[in-house]
């Protein structure tokens, strides 16, 4: 036992590794099917293609983003990460770039192109959160290589352009060479102009966005339907739909979630594209899934798997939040989102709801539903809580916002007033998409300036924490 405790297996030959991955994931599917609740109505989201889904991982370099990356890499027969874009949000982007490249290199995925976006913050994350990435970047597990090893992997294209090229099928590495899996190896853009992607099969691409929506908004603004039509769906960790936000910031009312608050206008822009399927994993769901010390200890029981050691080690960095911020532990935010992408059965409470986004002012970043919460709807109907609900009166539950400035009573009154106005406005929903051509919603005039149009989104309302823990622990036995 002593030797296993710090030992991790060396990387297996590619063929053997692929076989083990396949077996692992088949086992995982069996475990998850047995453990989780029955499928919801959102059958399209849960469709299981026979081939791995193409994914662009659009992250912002926080602690949980790296565990998310491990998870997305852990089941290649379900998800194939075709590119990674990084925003300078919950991180220091240059460090996050390093860390991402090192993780990929360490785990044999160095063919995945990675680029840092140049899009700026509207409301930057707190510096201590941004700084925490350094403690991951220095980990000995991923530093048995030099900066020279990484140099060929550094793209000069900005992240938002990489995303566009991947979506439009115009990205091509300098060499254009491929490894046996069909992925490019040693890909760089080498400063070359983007040309047709000979790996592009026209299959729509899933964007897993675990940071602000700036890159997605940029691509939609710049390339319009050409890009929108190539997006299978956007899975976004962001927003606070029927609960309060987690922003505590001078002048803000606490109703927004941080990824939305970082660039509220970008969220508003994505809301302007109702034809792009959008699944949000908001605080509604993540608030129930803390990263607990017990979870990390459980990774120790499987320390012979290097993905487990890496994930547990990365997450170990944040467990002191149980002391440091007892009222607001570190949640599984981004990783929960990836888990839902990989294993939709985890999300047994999905709701389609019309909503809009506040893009400026004291509530900027707030994602406002035009329907009561599932619990309120169920209580009103006297029955079951599952289902799709559109355009009833909003009743945002204050939750954490109650601790960050939103007063419960005022909120109720404001919501009622807004509800009447929104119910009138909602008939005009979708207009933004038709007219978006470089104009940000926040640039509109008058009353409209403060909010986006409304659109339908699918909300992951709840994930059982233990189901998530079990899934992640199983997936990272690799």
Residues that bind a copy of itself (CB under 8 A): 1-11, 105-108, 110, 127-128, 131-132, 134-145, 149, 293, 296-297, 299-304, 306, 308-310, 312-313, 316-320, 322-324
Residue of 106, 210, 436, 474 marked active site: 210
Q: Which is nearer to a copy of itself, 136 or 164 (CB)?
A: 136
Alpha-carbon separation of residue 439 from 109, 366, 448 (angstroms): 38, 20, 13
Active site residue 60: yes
User: Residue for token digits 């409470």?
Assistant: 349
Burial of 15 (C-beta count, 10 Å sphere; 0-12/13-18/19+): exposed
Q: How far is the CB of 177 from a copy of itself (least distance, A)?
A: 18
Residue of 58, 189, 263, 334 marked active site: 334
Q: Which is nearer to a copy of itself, 134 or 194 (CB)?
A: 134
How far is 432 from 228, CA to CA, in rounded Å? 14
Active site residue 129: yes
Active site residue 97: no
Q: Which is nearer to a copy of itself, 376 or 472 (CB)?
A: 472
Residue of 58, 64, 90, 395 marked active site: 90
Q: Which is nearer to a copy of itself, 138 or 413 (CB)?
A: 138
Residue of 58, 64, 65, 88 marked active site: 65
Instruction: Give strand pairing partners of 443.
Output: none
Active site residue 215: no
Neighbours of 144 (CB within 10 A): 10
Active site residue 333: yes
Phi and psi, residue 365, nearest 5°: 90, -5
Q: How far is the CB of 9 from a copy of itself (least distance, A)?
A: 7
Q: How far is the CB of 36 from a copy of itself (least distance, A)?
A: 25
CA angle centred on 44, ends 265 and 277, rounded to 5°: 15
Q: How far is the CB of 90 from a copy of itself (least distance, A)?
A: 14
Identify which of 232, 251, 269, 209 has the alpha carbon closest to the alpha carbon of residue 443. Answer: 269
How far is 409 from 419, CA to CA, in rounded Å? 15
Q: Which is nearer to a copy of itself, 13 or 382 (CB)?
A: 13
Joined together, the tokens standing for residue 159 give: 């992240």
Contact, 433 vs 272, CB < 8 A? yes
Q: How far is the CB of 67 from a copy of itself (least distance, A)?
A: 12
End-to-end CA distance of the chain: 18
Q: How far is the CB of 83 from a copy of itself (least distance, A)?
A: 20
Identify which of 326, 301, 304, 299 has the alpha carbon closest to the alpha carbon of residue 315. Answer: 299
Residue of 24, 36, 58, 60 marked active site: 60
DSSP state of 311: H
Q: Which is nearer to a copy of itself, 127 or 447 (CB)?
A: 127
Active site residue 90: yes
How far is 144 from 192, CA to CA, in rounded Å? 30
Which residues are known catalytic residues?
Answer: 60, 65, 90, 129, 210, 259, 333-334
């Amino acid at each position: 036992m002593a030797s296993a405790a710090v030992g991790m297996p060396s990387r297996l030959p590619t063929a053997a590794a692929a076989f083990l991955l396949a077996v692992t994931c088949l086992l995982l599917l069996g475990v998850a099917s047995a453990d989780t609740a029955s499928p919801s109505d959102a059958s399209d989201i849960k469709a299981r293609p026979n081939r791995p889904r193409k994914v662009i991982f659009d992250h912002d370099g926080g602690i949980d983003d790296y565990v998310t990356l491990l998870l997305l890499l852990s089941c290649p027969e379900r998800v194939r990460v075709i590119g990674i874009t990084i925003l300078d949000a919950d991180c220091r982007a240059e460090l996050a770039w390093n860390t991402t490249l090192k993780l990929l290199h360490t785990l044999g995925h160095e063919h995945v192109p990675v680029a840092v976006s140049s899009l700026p913050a509207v409301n930057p994350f707190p510096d201590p959160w941004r700084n925490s990435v350094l403690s991951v970047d220095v980990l000995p597990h991923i530093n048995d290589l030099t900066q020279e090893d990484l140099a060929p992997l550094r793209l000069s294209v900005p992240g938002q352009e990489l995303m566009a090229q991947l979506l439009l099928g115009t990205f091509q590495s300098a060499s254009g060479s491929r490894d046996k899996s069909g992925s490019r190896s040693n890909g760089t853009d080498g400063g070359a102009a983007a040309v047709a992607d000979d790996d592009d099969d026209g299959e729509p691409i899933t964007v897993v966005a675990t940071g602000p929506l700036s890159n997605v908004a940029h691509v939609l603004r710049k390339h319009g339907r050409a890009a929108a039509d190539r997006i299978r769906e956007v899975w976004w960790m962001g927003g606070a739909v029927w609960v309060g936000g987690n922003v505590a910031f001078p002048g803000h009312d606490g109703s927004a979630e941080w990824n939305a608050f970082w660039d509220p206008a970008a969220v508003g822009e994505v809301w302007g594209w109702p034809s792009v399927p959008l699944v949000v994993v908001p605080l509604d769901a993540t608030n129930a899934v803390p990263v607990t010390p017990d979870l990390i200890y459980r990774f120790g029981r499987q320390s012979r798997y290097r993905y487990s050691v890496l994930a547990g080690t990365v997450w170990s960095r944040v467990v002191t939040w149980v002391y440091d911020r007892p009222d607001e532990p570190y949640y599984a935010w981004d990783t929960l989102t990836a888990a839902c992408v990989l294993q939709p059965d985890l999300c047994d409470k999905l709701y389609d709801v019309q909503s809009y986004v506040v893009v400026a002012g004291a509530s900027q970043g707030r994602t406002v539903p035009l329907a009561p919460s599932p619990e309120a709807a169920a209580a009103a109907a006297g029955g079951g809580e599952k289902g799709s609900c559109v355009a009833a009166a909003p009743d945002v539950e204050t939750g954490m916002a109650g601790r960050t400035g939103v007063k419960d009573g005022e909120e109720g009154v404001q919501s009622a007033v807004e509800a009447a106005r929104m119910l009138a406005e909602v008939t005009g929903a979708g207009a933004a998409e038709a007219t978006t051509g470089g104009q940000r919603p926040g640039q509109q005039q008058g009353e409209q300036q403060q909010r986006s149009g409304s659109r339908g989104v699918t909300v992951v309302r709840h994930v059982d924490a233990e189901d998530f823990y079990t899934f992640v622990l199983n997936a990272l036995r690799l």
